[in-house]
Structure 1
Amino acid sequence: MHMAATLQRSLERAQCQFDVVPHPHSASSLESARVASVPAERLAKPVILDDRKGHYLMAVLPANRHLDMSMVCKGAEQWQLSSESAIAGLFKDCELGAVPAVGEAYGMHMRVDPMLTRQQDIYFEAGDHESLVHMSTEQFLRLVPNAEVCELCPQA
């Protein structure tokens, strides 16, 4: 079980209470929810976007939902999905595809879908493909105090 060092430091700094939930190896957020036996709507899936000018944004939504790019882009903002190589460079202490949903710890702005903030507790990748961090939503919001809560995916 490997927790990303950046995530570990951020959790310690914010004095958050959390559990680490080990699970069999998984290749996606949705699969992580399934193999860890947690509801997919409570697993926070980060999507990394960039503006082609060196700025990054982490959009965080439930693992069972899809990001609506038209809901992310506000006004003149022009975001696109970041490349795997860019993501690997941003999250050097994480396995590719196992990015923790805590963009602030990595120096990027965050937007979080309110479907997650309405959950009592949430889960997110710990930086590898075999463990999740579990905490109350209140603790999560304390961990990412500058995250903007806004609609990122269509209602079911």
Structure 2
Amino acid sequence: MASKVKSQPVGKQIIDILSERKQTIVTAESCTGGLIAASLSDVPGASAALYGGYVTYANAAKSKMIRVQSRLIRDYGAVSNQVARAMADGARNTANVDIAVSATGIAGPDGGSDKKPVGLVYVAVSSDLATVVIEHRFGDIGRDAIRQATVQAALDLVLQVLTSDPPN
């Protein structure tokens, strides 16, 4: 049975696990612009687990829609561990769901710097147990490739959290 589960796409595995547990997920996306939510909604039956998604591309949207403190954006920048964490926590609390995934990064081709180059992305997953943030440095592989790599990294992290958390 385990090999059968592993052969399924990650999005389907996530929806199946959440549906079985009667849990819901929300996305909070900046650089991916809704692609994570779209990837989950591609799964038949996703409505049993996918609450929805926030596309918080502008800094003001992060603050207004999911309550990211503007001082975090000012002090650390929108592309930071701190803001990714606040996005995931804020989305989970605002939507009142079990799991939230967030992504913020620099997809390019512009916007990078020596400290924060194109391809730098932070992905976070918030659950009732903890919030996990992972930094990725995909490199300047092109805007579309960075965004697709971010979606995959986000889904992989959600699955990792779901399969390491004890079911409620």
| TM-score using structure 2 length | 0.29
Give the structure with higher Rg (CA): 2
- Which protein has the bigger strand share? 1
Of the two structures, which has the highest relative contact order with CA contacts closer than 8 Å and spacing of 6 or more? 1
- Which protein has the bigger helix share? 2
